[in-house]
Chain A
Amino acid sequence: GAVVSQHPSRVICKSGTSVKIECRSLDFQATTMFWYRQFPKQSLMLMATSNEGSKATYEQGVEKDKFLINHASLTLSTLTVTSAHPEDSSFYICSARDLLSGGPDTQYFGPGTRLTVL
């Protein structure tokens, strides 16, 4: 199946700094990517839908000014956590939809990024 990568896989930062997480579709084009957050022992929570060339659509309760999303190309979306605080520590996962695939489920998930804010 198609591959989605995330970078970095793990990041530790100080409170107040900004952190950028990259999500790449390695062998397919994705007009739409999704960003999820997962706290320990909880399910994935959808944060936003990232559309190539347009503004992201955020889920209710997610601050768009804090979680900046940029989807500048068909293979790359970035999530920037601005002014990170300890409560932002979480597992961030992206997924990408294969634009051209006519197969069953064309949404592929990245391996996740573990963010720890000290």
Chain B
Amino acid sequence: DAKTTQPPSMDCAEGRAANLPCNHSTISGNEYVYWYRQIHSQGPQYIIHGLKNNETNEMASLIITEDRKSSTLILPHATLRDTAVYYCIARLKTSYDKVIFGPGTSLSVIP
């Protein structure tokens, strides 16, 4: 899996968009960018993934740069319940793949 780099922490005002960056400059052509989050004392939760096109689901949007060296997870209207550690992971979408977690970004949504 390619190495990813994220800021250790970020703050976001409630109701505003939270933009979480991730650098993955060594990502290979067949590695996807996955985002998970972990709310305190809970198991991780899958958010979204993408290869090269921007993706959107009911939770978030994922913007991947054209050169695929970085991406941004966007929570359009952050709520207090979005306070969590967000993990950006680059990995192959193959059978029996294991998810290796980096330190992630601790997002605090502030009232």
Contacts and interface: CB of A to CB of B under 8 A. Distances in A.
Interface residues of A, number: 25
A69 interface: no
A104 B96 contact: no
Nearest to B34: A105
Interface string A22-54: 000000000010101000001111100100000
Interface string B90-102: 0001001111111
Nearest to B38: A44
A111 B41 CA distance: 8
Contact of A46 (B46, B49, B96, B100): B100
Given A43-B101, A105-B46, A105-B49, A91 B34 contact: no
Interface string A98-118: 000000110111111010000
A62 B43 CA distance: 21
**Which label, helix, strand, loop or mixed, suits the secondary structure of the B interface?**
loop
Contact of A111 (B42, B97, B104): B42
B103 A95 contact: no
Contacts of B38: 44
Given A34-B99, A97-B96, A109 B41 contact: no
Given A112-B41, A114-B41, A43 B103 contact: yes
Nearest to A110: B43
A21 to B, nearest CB: 13
B25 interface: no
B42 A112 contact: yes
A93 interface: yes
Please list the 5 inter-chain residue pairs (A to B) with the smallest Cβ-Cβ separation, ordered nearest first: A109-B43, A44-B101, A43-B101, A109-B44, A105-B46
Interface of B: 34, 38, 41-46, 49, 85, 87, 93, 96-104
26 contacts: A4-B43, A32-B96, A34-B98, A34-B99, A42-B103, A43-B101, A43-B103, A43-B104, A44-B38, A46-B99, A46-B100, A49-B96, A49-B98, A93-B43, A95-B44, A95-B99, A97-B96, A104-B93, A105-B46, A105-B93, A107-B99, A109-B43, A110-B43, A112-B42, A112-B43, A114-B41
